[in-house]
Each structure stands twice: as structure tokens, then as C-alpha cells.
């Protein structure tokens, strides 16, 4: 108790020193808090984009589609997809259910052929899922039943094509024969995800079916849930619904078990773990360095208290308590500042368009940091503990020096 009082008096006595040490800890803590929120925002973005653009929370496909996916097996489809979509939409857990048909195609233009990835969609239903209407840069969305399409901005640029122009697509149809059709480009879309801007185009799902000779078939039905944490439970429930519908040839998969999606998330997590580790090491170095320097500067003081009869053990404890007080207060302020920066930026976002150029990740160029309570609390305790522990090394060393020697040092 006595040591705690002395420690507190020491902190107050040399305000400049305390301020210097505390500011370093505070800035480092604020930096980690914000960096963690930024990483959480980026990971959240990737997850949201994978779900919206690629897999849904739960994806329904023909049982054999996945193993033949690279062959674009349009005959392994979800037949009478409307029935499946309606059954899914009827469930209270479901936010939206959308049919989609994916197909590879050759784009023929000015005697040259280009590769492209087509997506037949129900534009009305996609309003709450892919939100294509928000991505329109020029023109309008295609109309149902019309031979119309919207092109991703990158593809439009590559093809040197503008709204109102026509282009002809060649592709393998459901019967593995060829199909060719000419479409009018009604709009150009710029998706937030860089990968989707390079070779994607979208057209009405009924026109796609006509083009690919697929009648009322889609390659998949994606289900979006109100509660994204219930994907596994709902996948099981969806399997039950499909069985009840006598559609045993279809399988419902949660997005977390879809190879490509999981791969993306693992890759992103690994990349961000490395970044987080670098931030951690940097911040920890600042805290440890400052704490140690401050104690090494106080050799004469240590010599004085030792000459007055304080035992080495008490000296170590005294400096530990001092570092703990400064660490805890500075880390608390640092966390508060980190939260203070994160909250407004989580609303307006950070525009990384320039630095994201050429990066083919499923991530939006505008990143919205997300505050994570668990990691914020962790950062507070981490900074406090690191600052306290950092005091051990110099104070133990100083405590072992004879008081006379300690008094001689400056």
C-alpha cells in the first residue's frame, strides 16, 4: 500500500516524464485498436462480398455440379428453379433467395474473340442481394425477356464498347452444342469488387435460359439469411425442405463449407494475421522501449532509495506499479481515442482506390473499419501488461547495482 502511494507520487512528481511515457503507450494502443478495426472491416467486406456475389449464405446446386464445374455443366442444373426459390422465400429465416446461371462464353467483337463470364440473374430479386442498381455507372438495367446485357466496366473498356452497342456471344449450351446470340449493351456497371469488373456481364435469367437452351433452369439458387450466424443450421433445414419437395438431386451448402469461399477467407485471414502481427510488434516495441528508457534514466533516484533502505525487491515492485498505473491510464485513453477514430470512419469509410489498383481481392476499395469489442478489450489489457512487464528488466538490473554506483551514474 505504501509502495503504491510512493509510485503514484512519483508519477505526479515528474509530469513531463510521465507524459512522455504515457503518450507513447497511448499512441501505440490507439494505433492497434484502429488497425484491428480496419482489419475487421476488410475481413467483413470480403465475407460480405463472397456471400453477395458468389455463394449466398447457403447455395443450392445440383449434386454433381461442383465436381464438373470447370466443364460448365449446364445440364446439371436446378430445374424448375422458381419452385425452389419460392419455397426458400417462404421460410421466415430467409432474407432473399435468388436464382443465378453462371456460364463461360466467348465474346465476339470486330473479328476477335475475348473470354467472358456470364451471369443470368433476376434483376428484381437481386435488388437486395447483389444490388446491381447501385453499381450502374452508365445506362440502365436490362429488361426481362430482352436480348440485353450490362457489362462490367473493365470488360467494356477491354472491348472498347459503349452503351447502346451490340455484341455477339458464343457459348456451349445445355446440350453441349454451340449457341450464338447478339445482345444490346444497356448499361455499364462498376462493382465494388475489382475481380468482378474484369470479365463479368449480366443478363436477364430468362434470356440466359433461351440462349443456353435451358428452359426454366438455373445453375444455382442462393439463399441470404436474416441471421448470418445460422448458416449451418439453415443449410440442414434447406436440405430437409428440398427432400420434402422430392428434389434429392439438389444439395444445400453453407458458404463456410464451399471450397473457393473458404479458401478466399483463409487467404485473407492469413494475410491480415501477418499485418496484425507486424502492427503488434511495432506497437510493443514502442511501449517496451519507452518504459525501459524512462527507468534507465532514473539510476540516481534508484541509488537514493536503495541508500535509504529500500530492498531490491521493493524497488522492482515500485517501478512495476508505476509502469502499471501509467500503462493502464494511457492504454485506456488510447483505446478511447482508437474508438473515437474508428466510429466516424466506420460511417464515411476510407477510400483505398489508389492503393488497391491492380489488387485482385474480393474487397471494396472503400473500407469501413468495424469496431470489435473483444479485440478492443484485449488491446487494452495487452498494452497495460506489456508496459508493466517492460519495467521488470531495467528495474531488476538497477536494483542489483550497489547504491554508491547507482548514485554515480547520471
Binding site for other proteins (CB under 8 A): 68, 73, 75, 106, 108, 111-113, 147, 166, 168, 170, 172-182, 211, 213
Q: How far is the CB of 113 from other proteins (least distance, A)?
A: 5
Q: What is the C-alpha to C-alpha distance for residues 81 and 207, in angstroms, rounded to an integer?
A: 15
Minimum CB separation from other proteins for residue 116, in Å? 14
What's the min distance (Å) between Cβ of 108 and other proteins?
A: 5
> Any idea how long the chain is?
410
- C-alpha angle 353-98-69 in degrees, rounded to nearest 5: 80
Q: Which positions ≥6 away from 397 have C-beta within 8 Å?
A: none
Q: Decide: 249 and 62 in contact? Cβ < 8 Å.
A: yes
CA dist 14 and 8 (Å) reads 11
Q: Smaller CB distance to other proteins: residue 71 or 343?
A: 71
Nearest-approach distance from CB 177 to other proteins, in angstroms:
4
Quick one: which H or E segment has residue 151? strand 148-152
Between 68 and 285, whose beta carbon lies closer to other proteins? 68
341: Cβ contacts below 8 Å, ≥ 6 apart: 30, 34
Measured from the CB atom, the residue of 143 and 215 that comes closer to other proteins is 215
CB of 88 to other proteins, least distance (A): 28
Give 180 or 340: the residue with its C-beta nearer to other proteins. Answer: 180
Residues paired with residue 356 on neighbouring β-strands, in sequence order: none
* Smallest distance, other proteins to C-beta of residue 176, A: 4
For 113-168, the DSSP string reads EEEEEEEEE-TTGGGGTT-HHHHEEEE-PPPTTSSEEEEEHHHHHHHT--TT-EEE
Q: How far is the CB of 120 from other proteins (least distance, A)?
A: 15
Contact yes or no for 105/171 (Cβ under 8 A): yes
Output the smallest distance, CB 171 to other proteins, in A: 11
Cell of 331: 492504454
User: In sequence order, what are the residues at sequence separation of 6 or more whose Cβ sits closer than 8 angstroms to the Cβ of residue 67?
Assistant: none
In the complex with other proteins, which residue's Cβ is closer, 102 or 370? 102
CB under 8 Å to 254, separation ≥6 — which residues?
57, 58, 231, 232, 234, 235
Distance CA 154, CA 354 (A): 16
User: Nearer to other proteins by C-beta: 52 or 172?
Assistant: 172
Amino acid at each position: 500500500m505504501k509502495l503504491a502511494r510512493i509510485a503514484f507520487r512519483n508519477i505526479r512528481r515528474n509530469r513531463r516524464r510521465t507524459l512522455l511515457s504515457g503518450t507513447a503507450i497511448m499512441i501505440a494502443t490507439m494505433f492497434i485498436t484502429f488497425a484491428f478495426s480496419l482489419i475487421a472491416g476488410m475481413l467483413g467486406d470480403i465475407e460480405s462480398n463472397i456471400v453477395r456475389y458468389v455463394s449466398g449464405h447457403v447455395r443450392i446446386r445440383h449434386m454433381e455440379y461442383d465436381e464438373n464445374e470447370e466443364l460448365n455443366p449446364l445440364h446439371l442444373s436446378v430445374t424448375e428453379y422458381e419452385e425452389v426459390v419460392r419455397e426458400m422465400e417462404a421460410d421466415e429465416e430467409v432474407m432473399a433467395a435468388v436464382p443465378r446461371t453462371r456460364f463461360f462464353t466467348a465474346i465476339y467483337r470486330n473479328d476477335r474473340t475475348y473470354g467472358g463470364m456470364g451471369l443470368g440473374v433476376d434483376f428484381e430479386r437481386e435488388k437486395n442481394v447483389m444490388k446491381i442498381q447501385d453499381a450502374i455507372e452508365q445506362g440502365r438495367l436490362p429488361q426481362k425477356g430482352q436480348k440485353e446485357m450490362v457489362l462490367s466496366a473493365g470488360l467494356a473498356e477491354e472491348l472498347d464498347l459503349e452503351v447502346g452497342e451490340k455484341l455477339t456471344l458464343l457459348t456451349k449450351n445445355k446440350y453441349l452444342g454451340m449457341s450464338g446470340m447478339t445482345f444490346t449493351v444497356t448499361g455499364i456497371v462498376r462493382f465494388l469488387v475489382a475481380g468482378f469488373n474484369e470479365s463479368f456481364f449480366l443478363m436477364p435469367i430468362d434470356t440466359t435460359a433461351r440462349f443456353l437452351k435451358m428452359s426454366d433452369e438455373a445453375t444455382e439458387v442462393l439463399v441470404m439469411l436474416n441471421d448470418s450466424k445460422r448458416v449451418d443450421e439453415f443449410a440442414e433445414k434447406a436440405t430437409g425442405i428440398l427432400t420434402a419437395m422430392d428434389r434429392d438431386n439438389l444439395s444445400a451448402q453453407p458458404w463456410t463449407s464451399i471450397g473457393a469461399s473458404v479458401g478466399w477467407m483463409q487467404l485473407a485471414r492469413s494475410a491480415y494475421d501477418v499485418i496484425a502481427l507486424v502492427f503488434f510488434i511495432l506497437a510493443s516495441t514502442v511501449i517496451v522501449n519507452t518504459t525501459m528508457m524512462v527507468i534507465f534514466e532514473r539510476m540516481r533516484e534508484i541509488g537514493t532509495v536503495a541508500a535509504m533502505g529500500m530492498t531490491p525487491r521493493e524497488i522492482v515492485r515500485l517501478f512495476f506499479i508505476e509502469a502499471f498505473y501509467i500503462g493502464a491510464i494511457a492504454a485506456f485513453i488510447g483505446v478511447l481515442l482508437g474508438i473515437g477514430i474508428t466510429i466516424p470512419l466506420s460511417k464515411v469509410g476510407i477510400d483505398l482506390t489508389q492503393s488497391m489498383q491492380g489488387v485482385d481481392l474480393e474487397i471494396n476499395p472503400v473500407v469501413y473499419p468495424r469496431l470489435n469489442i473483444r479485440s478492443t478489450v484485449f488491446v487494452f489489457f495487452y498494452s497495460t501488461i506489456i508496459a508493466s512487464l517492460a519495467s521488470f528488466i531495467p528495474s531488476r538490473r538497477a536494483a542489483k547495482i550497489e547504491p554508491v554506483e547507482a548514485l554515480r551514474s547520471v
